[in-house]
Amino acid sequence: MARPQKRHLGRGNREVDTRQALLEAVLELMNRDKSFDAISLREVTREVGITPAAFYRHFPDMDSLGLELVSTSFRTLREMLKTVRVNPAPEQNVVRRSVETFVTYVRAQRRHFQFIARERFGGVAALREEIDHELTLLVSELATDLARYPNASKWTNEDLQVLANLMIGAMIRIVEQLLMARRRGEDDAEWIDMGEKQLRLVVLGALQWRSSELIEESKTK
Amino acid sequence: MARPQKRHLGRGNREVDTRQALLEAVLELMNRDKSFDAISLREVTREVGITPAAFYRHFPDMDSLGLELVSTSFRTLREMLKTVRVNPAPEQNVVRRSVETFVTYVRAQRRHFQFIARERFGGVAALREEIDHELTLLVSELATDLARYPNASKWTNEDLQVLANLMIGAMIRIVEQLLMARRRGEDDAEWIDMGEKQLRLVVLGALQWRSSELIEESKTK
DNA sequence: TGTACATCAGTGAACGCGCGTTCACTGATGTAC
DNA sequence: TGTACATCAGTGAACGCGCGTTCACTGATGTAC
């Protein structure tokens, strides 16, 4: 059981994990301007260099392959967030360093982030729902994390969810801008600055949140 | 020239603008879980009730139809923003009323917003680039608008762009959440609250922006 | 008011093509003896 | 070390189907006289 799968070598001579090659072929085809539901099974096998029928040795259909891509892509995203958190945070430059980590990761794992971005509202319901579910999970995890900060004592659980939601939102937006920026061939540093400003603004807003809420309430009375 | 196009009435008896019907058929098919590049020309004509060949009387190909959908969808979005701005803003509840307008519009014109959301990172490069271009324009317009506010005098043009970018970003996120919420069949009011909090947080952050930037600079020295 | 004519949206048949899925098969590999 | 056997990834041919695009056509409509 779980013997490593080797290519049958009918044509080539390589020893490759074909299953992995199929997953990567889809990411590659998506990078060449296709959405997932516009990629055919035959295209994928052609890219890998096997017969269409051989596909079924690894996945029952394309959707299953897609769902596996969702979970591996989110593994990449979680790794990124872990790196950001573990990073020895020297108080003052937390935000900038976080954004720098973002950028490095998105550059290195571009196709995973592109996959999530494209299929988050894509045409395949199963993928969309799975991505939505994973993002909801991510927000909850971050909220739990934020609750451990000393300053968080005056926040309700609901507000922590909102804040976490907003931070994930800012992260998504930064990733999206990076994906588009690369396409337009623009500069890195410019977008790191932009991302830093955006994230810092969220933090500033959060720090002001409580006091302002009180003001707002007294106003409407 | 520009005579109204009537259906040839070979089958039915309706007098319909077929061109419009084709555009709406695509939005309808996308609402039934397909991305644009996974919709076939034949599906569209089948939906409208004409022969595939008749398609070419109205558009040279599917991409042209898609580009027209981009511009009409953005017309809807601009209308929404205009309504938000013109709305007699009673100072205190600007944010809440803006979010309410958002929600109303997205509900009414759901398919246009869904189209933009889905194709913003979709598989068709031409659509993606056009949407990116329109969004960039929108940010610039908003920045110009913000510059007219009295408090804006201490802001650089670049910072106004960042702020406008962030506000459009918050708007996009609210729209996205609404689109997903409808799918999950959740409550409206809950998401209006959420949207309000998100937008208010951006405003709060913006108001704190300048002073904090000075603090940050003195820290790093 | 009646007739001849141009316009043009829609028809329906035809084409070659790539698609997903099935099937009986092949042959390299690892294992048991 | 040598042999017989089970496993199973990959083969290649075949199927029926929906695709985009072409073409000569039809027939309702508006216009000129």
Please write down the HEC assignment for all residues of chain A: CCCCCCCCCCCCCCCCCHHHHHHHHHHHHHHCCCCHHHCCHHHHHHHHCCCHHHHHHCCCCHHHHHHHHHHHHHHHHHHHHHHHHHCCCCHHHHHHHHHHHHHHHHHHCHHHHHHHHHHCCCCCHHHHHHHHHHHHHHHHHHHHHHHCCHHHHHCCHHHHHHHHHHHHHHHHHHHHHHHHHHHHCCCHHHHHHHHHHHHHHHHHHHHHHHHHHHHHHHHHC
- Strand D: list positions under 7 Å from protein Cβ: 8-14, 18-24, 27-29
Full pLDDT tens readout for chain A, 221 residues:
333 334 433 333 334 799 999 999 999 999 999 999 999 999 999 999 999 999 999 999 999 999 999 999 999 999 999 988 876 666 668 888 889 998 999 999 999 999 999 999 999 999 999 999 999 999 999 999 989 887 778 888 888 988 898 889 889 988 998 998 877 776 778 888 888 888 888 888 888 876 555 555 544 54
Q: What is the pLDDT of residues B45-93, one digit of tens each?
A: 999 999 999 999 999 999 999 999 999 999 999 999 998 887 666 666 8
**pLDDT confidence of residue A89:** 60
Comparing alpha-carbon positions, the chain B residue that sits nearest to A196 is: B162
Q: Give A-chain residues touching B208 at CB under 8 angstroms.
A: 204-205, 207-208
**pLDDT confidence of residue A188:** 79
Percent of chain B clearing pLDDT 70 (strictly above) = 84
**pLDDT confidence of residue A91:** 62
Q: Which nucleotide is nearest to A60 (CA to C1')?
A: C21
The confidence band for B216, taking pLDDT boundaries of 50, 70 and 90, is: low
Q: Give B-chain residues touching A125 at CB under 8 angstroms.
A: 33
Q: Which two tokens stand for residue A206?
A: 């959060």
Q: Which of residues 57-96 of A touch strand D (CB under 7 A)?
A: 57-58
B56 touches strand D (CB under 7 A): yes
Q: What is the mean pLDDT of residues B23-33?
A: 97
* pLDDT higher at B221 or A168: A168
- Say how far apart CA B100 and CA B183 lie, in whole Å: 19
Residue B141 has pLDDT above 90, yes or no: yes
Residue B30 has pLDDT above 60, yes or no: yes
Q: Which two tokens stand for residue B217?
A: 């600079």
**pLDDT confidence of residue B4:** 35
**pLDDT confidence of residue A139:** 95
Q: Picking from A28-37, A163-172, B109-118, B182-191, which range would have the lowest pLDDT averaged per residue?
A: B182-191
Q: Which two tokens stand for residue A9?
A: 């070598």
- Say how far apart CA A126 and CA A66 lie, in whole Å: 9
Q: Give A-chain residues touching B110 at CB under 8 angstroms.
A: none
Burial (CB count within 10 angstroms: exposed 0-12, middle 13-18, buried 19+), residue B188: middle
Residue B151 has pLDDT above 90, yes or no: no
- Say how far apart CA A156 and CA A151 lie, in whole Å: 12
State the pTM of this model. Answer: 0.88
